[in-house]
Amino acid sequence: MKGTSVRNTTWDELEVGATAALDRTCTAQDMFLFAHVSGNLNPVTLPSSPDQANQGEPVAPSLWVGSLVSAVLGNLLPGPGTVYRAQSFNFVERVRIGSRLRIEVKCIEKREKPLALFETTVREEDGRVVVQGIAEVDAPLTTIVTEAQDLPHIILDEHDHFAPLIAVAKRLPPLPTAVLGPDDRHALGGAVLSAEEGLIVPILVGDGGRIRAAAKDLGVDIGRFELIDVSDDREASKRAVALVNTGKAAALMKGNVSAEALLGAVMKRDGGLRGVRRLSHAFVLDVPTLDHLLFITDCAINIAPDLTTKVDIVQNGIDLARACGIETPRVGVLSAVETVNPNIPSTLDAAALSKMAERGQIKGGIVDGPLAMDNAMDVTAARTKGITSLVAGRAEVLIVPNLESGNMLAKELTFVARAESAGLVVGARVPIILTSRADNDRARLASCALAQLYIYWCRTGRSACTIPVLPKAAE
């Protein structure tokens, strides 16, 4: 629209009988935006309201429909410079999501300068009238020619990609989980919430006094949970690993302890939890601008991985994405550029990983690289640079060159782009729920769901997201 000149119609130029119209389709986003601007939270008009399910299909707020008239008056006829005096409406029918509307205005009278009256009508595409009314406006007295402007983009966080995964995980048996250092609000709160949601059966391992103090602060009863009183982080980590080795726990969850202490116990050759692959960490992000979850790896374990380690990182990332219901994950191997450059080692690794996936050395996903961040995530950017790829612009899993870049990318999306995050370490004999100490209860709940789904995938070779939902037994 930008670059198109718009000229108004002055009061002197305005003729009785003059008309103008525009078309508009009602969307769910319109309803959310109107709720934000007006403060009207009527569940009948909010598509995602928990109370809306009992009300039937949501209807557009009547005044939102009416407000469309102002776009015709202010933009087309009389156009720029028009000022409202009054507006009457008769709301004949309701408008719903997907309705294609035509908004019409017709000058029906000119009174004392600059007053003009307009008949205003909103119709469905089949011609049915949904709104009628009369607008009284001050028409502009001077000619105004202005350039139509593009409005700033608005991003609405209207999708919750973690909720379906949590719902699936709740249908699986609770996971016995050793929780290390649950002695602050977030660590203990996340464990308790996950237990209440039926995802885990927590075994609390850490300083008993501090854990009880945190429980008192939260106002929760932890008497129903087993508590192993160990004051030292390293000793607590050893005890937690031992719980897995004896079959009492099927996962580990990091609370207010150092990652170094936890991973040190996990990586011990004798009595540790080493698996057949290298351990790697994945952030799983629900980014407001994306219609799918985004997996970023490795962000917390391997500082400067070589090619051999990256093979395991890629395979771990693919497996986790498949566990979450992505049948064939698209994997973008990131670098600063999208061409192979011998002076940038990460581009060589990316090219090798892509070829290894083609040859079946990495299985279950489509791998391509090197890709810069823009052409990994944006189709237009990829096309501009002439990249033809099944991954470019559509990546669901991002493989970063090193821990620093991955950690910064994930936290930038979390704290700047308002993405919700979860984190999991895979490659050990059991999943390790590894979140930042600053993460909230929701992040820990989502991370527990990831652990549930990953264990199910490892045991069965298929995603729990494909399990059919059985109807509830008749009461």
Comparing 331 with 151, which gets the higher pLDDT? Answer: 331
Q: How does residue 473 score in pLDDT terms, banded at 50, 70 and 90?
A: very low
Q: Same domain for 186 and 76?
A: no
The answer to which of 127-131, 252-256, 463-467 has the lowest mean pLDDT is 463-467
- Mean pLDDT across the stretch 26-40? 91
Domain boundary, last residue among 121, 147, 173: 147
Domain that residue 295 falls in: 162-465
Is residue 359 included in any domain, yes or no?
yes
Residues 249 and 295 in one domain: yes
Average pLDDT, the chain: 91
In a domain, 281, yes or no: yes
The answer to the question of residue 268 being in a domain is yes
Which CATH number goes with the domain that contains 118? 3.10.129.10
Residue 82 lies in a domain: yes
Q: Of the given ranges (32-41, 156-165, 306-315), which has the lowest mean pLDDT?
A: 156-165
User: Does residue 473 form part of some domain?
Assistant: no
Instruction: Judge whether residue 209 has pLDDT over 50.
Output: yes
Q: For the segment 121-144, what is each residue's pLDDT rounded down to a tens digit? A: 999 999 999 999 999 999 999 999
Within-domain flag for 368: yes
81-120: pLDDT as tens digits: 999 999 999 999 999 999 999 999 999 999 999 999 999 9
155 assigned to some structural domain: no
Give residue-wise pLDDT tens across range 331-389.
999 999 999 999 999 999 999 999 999 999 999 999 999 999 999 999 999 999 899 89
Q: Which of 191, 210, 457, 184 is nearest to 315 (CA)?
A: 457
Domain end among 91, 118, 147: 147
Model pLDDT for residues 45-58, shown as the tens digit of each residue = 988 654 544 556 89
- Exposed (0-12), middle (13-18) or buried (19+): which is 275, by Cβ within 10 Å? middle
Verify that 457 and 342 share a domain, yes or no: yes
Same domain, residue pair 176 and 132: no
Q: Residue 201 is part of a domain; what is its CATH number?
A: 3.40.718.10
301-305 long-range CB contacts below 8 Å, 24 or more apart?
301/263, 301/403, 301/425, 302/278, 302/402, 302/403, 303/402, 303/403, 303/404, 304/402, 304/403, 305/278, 305/402
d(CA 447, CA 450): 5
Exposure of 380 by Cβ count < 10 A (0-12 exposed, 13-18 middle, 19+ buried)? exposed
Per-residue pLDDT of 307-337, as tens digits, reads: 999 999 999 999 999 999 999 999 999 999 9
Are 315 and 428 found together in one domain? yes
User: Does residue 3 have a pLDDT over 60?
Assistant: no
Q: How confident is the model at residue 256 (pLDDT cuts 50, 70, 90)?
A: confident
Asked whether the predicted pLDDT for residue 150 surpasses 90, the reply is no
At residue 455, the pLDDT reads 96
Closest-CA residue to 422 (of 327, 311, 297): 297
Asked if 196 and 141 sit in the same domain, the reply is no
- Residue 305 belongs to a domain: yes
User: Is 56:45 a contact under the CB 8 Å cutoff?
Assistant: no
Asked whether residue 322 falls in the same domain as residue 379, the answer is yes
> What pLDDT does 52 receive?
46
Q: Which of 113, 147, 181 is the last residue of a domain?
A: 147
CB neighbourhood size of 349 (10 A): 22
| Co-location of 141 and 166 in the same domain | no
Percent of the chain with pLDDT over 90: 77
Q: What is the average per-residue pLDDT within 26-41?
A: 91
Residues 289 and 317 in one domain: yes
Predicted confidence at residue 67, as pLDDT, reads 95
pLDDT exceeds cutoff 80 at 470: no
pLDDT at 238 over 90: yes
Q: Compute CA distances 464 → 128, 310, 397, whole Å.
A: 47, 27, 19
Question: Which residues on adjacent β-strands are paired with residue 106?
Answer: 19, 119
Do residues 392 and 270 both lie within one domain? Answer: yes
Question: 284, 421 in Cβ contact below 8 A?
Answer: yes
pLDDT at residue 469, rounded to an integer: 55
- Between CA 242 and CA 248 the distance in angstroms is 9
> Are the CB atoms for 298 and 305 separated by under 8 Å?
yes
Tokens at 308, concatenated: 């051999």
pLDDT for position 156: 67
Question: Scanning the structure block, which residue is given the tokens 């986790």?
Answer: 320
**CB–CB of 154/30 below 8 Å?**
no
Q: What tokens appear for 31 in the block?
A: 């309803």
Contact 452, 199 (CB under 8 A): yes
Total domains in the fold of the chain: 2
Contact (CB, 8 A) for 180 and 240: yes
Top-confidence range, 29-33, 34-38, 322-326:
322-326
Kindly report the pTM of this predicted structure.
0.77
Q: What pLDDT score does 472 carry?
A: 42
Residue 195 and residue 135 in one domain: no
Q: Are residues 310 and 456 in the same domain?
A: yes
